[in-house]
Amino acid sequence: MQENSRDVLEDRLVSEIVLKLRKGINDNGQASLGVSGGSTPVNLFKKLSKTEIQWNKIFIFPVDDRVLPDNHPDQNGTLIKQNLLINKAKHATFIPLIHFYNDSKINLLKAQTILDSIDRPFDVLILGMGTDGHTASLFPNSEGIKNGMDINNNELLVEIKPTLAPYTRISLTRSTIEQSKNIYLHIYGNEKKMVYDKAKSSDNHELYPISAFMNMPNFNLYWTE
């Protein structure tokens, strides 16, 4: 790979995201952007925050989050506010998934009600992927994974309790992700590419949740070393 391949990839992805968001604004007067946490998208967020677009017509939300207090360093909402909702993007409307961190059941109901106020299908989702094949907080072998991956579950969100990761989570369901207009998987490194290739050859969506989306026409891989 070229020395600055990650920068090049991020620039390409920013251009693609902006193109789809502009289309959403032109078609419907508003657009929606769901984003993931972790270290991978941080530089992408900063680049995206500086772009010229009608941010006041864009809704931004996490595709998943940890049920933690606002501004907790492990909350995806905190990462998004610090790295995306800045510069020009500070004029976007942020839709958090955490409202009652001390009661995950009540929080799930509240988050679904608020997220349901955004027009669907969502315009853009940026997904990540773990080395276990999870995406959003759809973790294999977790409490809630069967419900989250059930294609007949039309709820927007699901509560997930991972067995090998900390904190109770709230995540978009498989059906919510699938119904979105444009899905981008943004990953780096050879290890994750190997996981991606292994997942693509599997039909066990509960073991490799990311595999459920790979063959969809609205799914796009953005990977480099």
**In this structure, what CATH number is given to the domain that contains residue 39?**
3.40.50.1360
Report the pLDDT averaged over residues 16-20.
Answer: 98
| pLDDT at residue 96, as a whole number | 98
| 111 has a pLDDT exceeding 60 | yes
| 83 has a pLDDT exceeding 60 | yes
Contact 112, 157 (CB under 8 A): yes
Q: Would residue 151 count as lying in a domain?
A: yes
pLDDT, averaged across the chain: 96
pLDDT band at 147 (very low <50, low <70, confident <90, very high): very high
Tokens in use for 211?
Answer: 């595999």
Q: Would residue 223 count as lying in a domain?
A: no
| pLDDT at residue 122, as a whole number | 98
pLDDT band at 11 (very low <50, low <70, confident <90, very high): very high
Which residue segment(s) compose the domain that 104 sits in?
5-214
Long-range contacts of 197-201, Cβ-Cβ distance < 8 Å, separation of 24 or more: 198/133, 199/133
Give Rg (Cα) of the chain.
16
Report the pLDDT averaged over residues 14-37.
Answer: 98
Report the pLDDT averaged over residues 122-128.
Answer: 98
Q: Would residue 220 count as lying in a domain?
A: no
Measure Cα distances from 143 to 76, 156, 170 in Å: 20, 17, 12
Report the pLDDT averaged over residues 202-219.
Answer: 96
Q: What percent of the chain has pLDDT over 70?
A: 99
| pLDDT at residue 48, as a whole number | 98
Q: Across 42-193, where does the E strand assignment appear?
A: 58-62, 64-66, 93-94, 124-127, 157-160, 169-172, 182-188
| 77 has a pLDDT exceeding 90 | yes
| pLDDT at residue 4, as a whole number | 79
| 79 has a pLDDT exceeding 80 | yes
pLDDT band at 42 (very low <50, low <70, confident <90, very high): very high
What does the angle CA 4 – CA 9 – CA 14 come to, to the nearest 5 degrees?
130
Contact 190, 172 (CB under 8 A): no
| 1 has a pLDDT exceeding 60 | no
Q: Would residue 51 count as lying in a domain?
A: yes
CA distance 5 to 183: 21
Q: How many domains does the chain have?
A: 1
Q: Would residue 154 count as lying in a domain?
A: yes
Q: Would residue 224 count as lying in a domain?
A: no
Q: Would residue 221 count as lying in a domain?
A: no
Q: Would residue 72 count as lying in a domain?
A: yes
| 92 has a pLDDT exceeding 90 | yes
Report the pLDDT averaged over residues 77-91.
Answer: 98
DSSP state, residue 126 = E
